[in-house]
Structure 1
Amino acid sequence: MAALPRSAAGDRSPWLIATVVSIATFMEVLDTTIANVALRHMAGGVGASQDESTWILTTYLVTNAIILPVSGYLATLIGRKRFYMGCVAVFTLASLGCALSDSLPILLVFRAIQGLGGGGLAPVEQSILADTFPPEKRAGAFALYGLTVVTAPAMGPALGGWITDNYSWHWIFLINLPFGALSLFLVSVFVQEPKAVREDRRKARAEGKGIDWVGFGLAALALGSLQVVLDRAVIDDGFWSPMVTWLTVACVAGFALLIPWERRQARPAVDVRLFGHRSFLASSLIMFLVAFTLFSTTQLLPQLTQDLMGYDATTAGLTLAVGGIGTIFVMPIAGRITGLVQPRWVILCALLWSGVALLHATQITLEMGFWHVSTLRILQVVALPFLFVPITTAAYVGLPPDKTNDASALINLMRNLGASVGISVMNGAVVHGAQFHQSRLVESANAANPLWAEQLRQTEQALRHAGLGAWEASQAALSQLAGQFAAQAQVLSYMDAFWLLGVAVLALWPLVFLMRDLPKGAKPSGH
């Protein structure tokens, strides 16, 4: 296959480039989930409270969200390869700083820097793939790349649990160093900066009036505020917290000013006009919900198994890893099918499968074994490659060639926002759902209910046979049944969460008909 005008492969195989640029994304996506299970250990290591420790995650997500939408703009101004290598270097060095931190403020500073470096990786990588492969060949490339995005979140909790159980939390960050060094070396040697991309940079500098600082500032205000609100709303009791309230106002104001401002700019920091392309808009919305579902269930399932089934961090993470292994085998098939069938039909079938699998997960019980839980996870994620690959492929159909950087930035922003919103919303739904169900269960716990009275009598009788006195048995029985009520209420809340996710996924199917058809064997224009 002859090299395309904007290809980063030069005279080398484009598949080599696809492999090279996937390394750093695997490192960055893995880091977004691997730290979750080690949060308590990190808090103890830097002398932070449990509440303060959540800022270790929040700080990274805030700066990551801020840099994501403007990464395409910066890549065009600075140069795609130079910007990408700079992001890898910043992320890697910040990881070393995190590992060496001995106080919470220092750790938060390096996490913020790490988020800035990590946020620029995925958009540039997808832009490189979109320019290196013609439209009819992109599905296979995105399938290879998708292995990192889909499997890394599943492997993160298991790997993080194993590291913290057997070594120390510092190694969660130190393992990034060899990946970062390898990525920098391979990119510097194999990835090319084609003449067409260098011309984009020259034109952007010649035609533009410098950096769109207003757009950058408004995006930082809106997305940074939104990320903090999503992360702290449940912890700080929602709008009862003045910080959450004021940041919500800042977020709304930021978006309200950002959109009209950027629509008037010749070279906007965030090119919101791309959402005017129907295929890109549909792809972005579906990507948002795919990430919403993937990351929220990645959070909920280990939480369920650890809190209610007594799993340790490693075993809970392994339930996700089993599903991740399944996606590894399915991803190449998804790439092959997307190259033969129009993306909209692949996405439609995958949405139906995912929705039904999430509804099936409402059958959870506390008596389920490890493999039963793992099977539920496999059913949930096995369709993800058939969503991620065609969505990413369809997003670029019909876009101008010089907009791949901006499009990649926005599609990745939608993925990250979906993850953040999903985790926040579904955690809140589980907390409030447990309170709702527990109040309903407690209402039935009265002497007028023969089932309750009989259950209480049998429990008291069993405790008295175990050697307790009458009064002690009565109190212990009430305490034991209260614990059962609390556990059952939590299970019901998780069932509600999976039901809501399933219904939301099934309701998305009309969006697929907004997508444009992928050209079959056509010569790409400018790509």
Structure 2
Amino acid sequence: METGARKWIIVITVVLCALLELIDTSIVNVALTQMMGNLSATLSEVSWVIASYAIANVIVVPLTGFLSEQFGRRNYFGFSVILFTVASIACGQSTNIWELVAFRFIQGVGGGALMATSQSILIDTFPPRQLALGQALFGMGVIIGPTIGPTLGGYIVDNYDWPWIFYVNVPVGILATIFTFLFIKDPESIANAIPKPLRQLDWAGIFLLILGVGSLQYVLEKGESEDWFESGLIITFALLSVIGVVGFIWRELTAKNPIVDLRVLTRSRNLALGAILSFILGFGLFASIFIFPIFTQRILGFTAAQTGFLLLPGALLAGFMMPVIGKALQAGVPQKYMLPFGFGIFFLFTFWMSQKITGSAGEDDFFWPLMLRGLGLSLLFLPITTMSLQGLRGKDGAQAAGLTGMLRQLGGSFGVAIVGTYLERNIAYNRVALLPNISLYDPETQQRIQAFTQNFMGKGFTFEQAKLQAYQVLNFSLMKEASLITYAQTFTLLGLFFLVCIPLLIFIKRIRDAGPIDLNAH
């Protein structure tokens, strides 16, 4: 265990690195339009800037435990920081879209390692009774990062040029590299480990992991744009993902020296349950952060910066609450009592949002629901994380951090894919359902068309042109109403999903630590 100033330098270093990685998952979203123009790319091509990073992330995260043991955790973490920083510079220097996609993949390889390795470093930096405090600090980055990404990205794009969304990583990356090699040390279990010869590595496991998880992430990222299983390419990758995932699980449970030790799940019931809950948390965290900006920008006409600033107070509240929740856990409050409140509060957030979805909604309407979201996430993330990692140290802790991180990321990918598909298809369905209410034979509808027509004729349009414009306005109103209904339904279903997960909590096994918790211990 580390002590004094050294301990807090390590904490600041790894939390900043995790924060950087998570900011970069969402910071590019608001710059895609500018990238399309500057790099002469289509929407389909530029979407790979996001997809390549996510695919690299989800492949690397579960490998971090093995790679830390093979090369030394400090060396691996330091190399990942350098790779992430250099790739950020290369992204900003890209002269065409496929250069940018390639460098984003490399950046994702470094970033995925930062996420899981940061968590395992914190596990070994704090004593077992301070696990909640260490993970609270890590959780601040996990919750705040995806939220401030669009805000920061929007500010940079509005005031500078898109390469600066990558260049801002460089100063932090340089400092983190220096601090890593000066202050971070390997725990004995890793420092004394003998690296395996290349011929003894679980190459089959590595191949199956890349095939299965990489193909699955591709399906989730590109499925909606390719019309899912109407596309032969999506069908092919879906089959490859099934083969890869099933083969990977079988291989890792039977191999003598597995690349990812899935047997750690059988040694800890709480870790197995925590892995499931991490998936659910990722689903809710990323799905809610995905749907809200789409609604505010498409329907209400907010800018990216406006939307980002709306999300910021709730994220800051979640970050502020993390140490408070950590102290409560250290004081002996069981996770199984906190989690139902977290799920319940998240349900209240989604229900409240479903009531606020109107065409006349303003910024003030969303402040308190989003604050409630921040509180709910703080009551979910930290109890789930500490429950999953409690009692695990060294190699097992690194494996557990990698597995829960991967599942949280996959949960987010599933959430975004499912919500995106539901929105697109149900807006069309609700539009059809509303059509009988605006029949051309309805006197009220005829009056609206006449009023619109007269208005456009007053602006100089001919009668035929004005009538065509009137029909377009009516169609826009219909689409807007169908969209409002769909967004409200989506928030409601997201909340119900969290409610039905509550019965899982009865399987939590409480692990009692002996002795009082010293919050001031070093």
Give the shorter-chain TM-score range: over 0.9
2:347 to 351, 355, 358: 355
Structure 1 segment 399-410 matched on structure 2, within 5 A: 399=392, 401-410=394-403
1:289 aligned partner: 280
1:425 aligned partner: 418
Q: Is the 8 A contact 1:437 1:489 kept in 2?
A: yes
Q: Is the 8 A contact 1:433 1:496 kept in 2?
A: no
1:253 to 2:243 alignment: yes
Distance 1:464 1:446, change over 3 A: same
Give 1:13 deviation, angstroms.
5.2
Q: Secondary structure at the match of 2:359?
A: coil
Q: Is the 8 A contact 1:163 1:171 kept in 2?
A: yes
Q: Distance in 1 between matches of 2:457 and 2:35?
A: 44
Q: Distance in 2 between matches of 1:15 and 1:101?
A: 36
Q: Is the 8 A contact 1:456 1:477 kept in 2?
A: no
1:308 aligned partner: 299
Distance 1:12 1:266, change over 3 A: farther
Q: Distance in 2 between matches of 1:260 and 1:71?
A: 20
1:262 to 2:252 alignment: yes
Name the aligned partner's letter for residue 388 of structure 1.
F
**How many residues matched?**
511
Q: Distance in 1 between matches of 2:496 and 2:254?
A: 38
Distance 1:405 1:462, change over 3 A: closer
1:342 aligned partner: 334
Structure 1 segment 9-158 matched on structure 2, within 5 A: 9=2, 14-158=7-151
Q: Distance in 2 between matches of 1:173 and 1:487?
A: 35
Superimposed CA distance per residue, residues 457-481 of structure 1 (whole angstroms, 9 cap, x where no aligned partner) = 1452365367557666654433222
Distance 1:461 1:63, change over 3 A: closer
Give 1:165 deviation, angstroms.
0.9
Q: Is the 8 A contact 1:296 1:422 kept in 2?
A: yes
Q: Distance in 1 between matches of 2:77 and 2:408?
A: 19
Distance 1:447 1:41, change over 3 A: closer
Greater CA deviation, 432-441 or 275-284? Answer: 275-284
Structure 1 segment 493-512 matched on structure 2, within 5 A: 493-512=486-505
2:318 aligned partner: 327
Superimposed CA distance per residue, residues 323-369 of structure 1 (whole angstroms, 9 cap, x where no aligned partner) = 22222322221212222211121112111111121122111111111
State the TM-score, normalized to the length of structure 1: 0.92
**Structure 2: segments with no counterpart, 5+ residues:** 518-522
Superimposed CA distance per residue, residues 85-132 of structure 1 (whole angstroms, 9 cap, x where no aligned partner) = 111110110000000010112111111111111111121111111122
1:6 aligned partner: none
Give 1:10 deviation, angstroms.
6.4
Greater CA deviation, 452-461 or 277-286? Answer: 452-461
Greater CA deviation, 459-468 or 284-293? Answer: 459-468
1:273 to 2:266 alignment: no
Name the aligned partner's letter for residue 424 of structure 1.
A
Q: Is the 8 A contact 2:346 2:498 kept in 1?
A: yes
Q: Distance in 2 between matches of 1:513 and 1:79?
A: 38
Distance 1:127 1:327, change over 3 A: same
Structure 1 segment 483-502 matched on structure 2, within 5 A: 483-502=476-495
Q: Is the 8 A contact 2:18 2:115 kept in 1?
A: yes
1:195 to 169, 188, 193: 188
Q: Secondary structure at the match of 1:236?
A: coil
Q: Secondary structure at the match of 1:70?
A: helix
2:520 aligned partner: none
Structure 1 segment 213-252 matched on structure 2, within 5 A: 213-252=203-242
Superimposed CA distance per residue, residues 21-65 of structure 1 (whole angstroms, 9 cap, x where no aligned partner) = 111111111111101111111222222111110011111111111
Q: Secondary structure at the match of 2:62?
A: coil
Q: Secondary structure at the match of 2:447?
A: helix
**Structure 1: segments with no counterpart, 5+ residues:** 4-8
Q: Is the 8 A contact 1:342 1:518 kept in 2?
A: no
Give 1:320 deviation, angstroms.
1.5
Distance 1:59 1:478, change over 3 A: same
Greater CA deviation, 314-323 or 177-186? Answer: 314-323
Q: Is the 8 A contact 1:144 1:332 kept in 2?
A: yes
Q: Distance in 2 between matches of 1:64 and 1:302?
A: 23
Q: Secondary structure at the match of 1:268?
A: coil
Q: Distance in 2 between matches of 1:157 and 1:172?
A: 10
Q: Distance in 2 between matches of 1:55 and 1:29?
A: 17
Name the aligned partner's letter for residue 380 of structure 1.
R
Give 1:255 deviation, angstroms.
1.1
Q: Is the 8 A contact 1:17 1:190 kept in 2?
A: yes
Q: Distance in 2 between matches of 1:431 and 1:29?
A: 27
Q: Is the 8 A contact 1:154 1:323 kept in 2?
A: no
Q: Is the 8 A contact 2:318 2:378 kept in 1?
A: yes
Q: Distance in 2 between matches of 1:440 and 1:218?
A: 45
Q: Distance in 2 between matches of 1:465 and 1:500?
A: 40
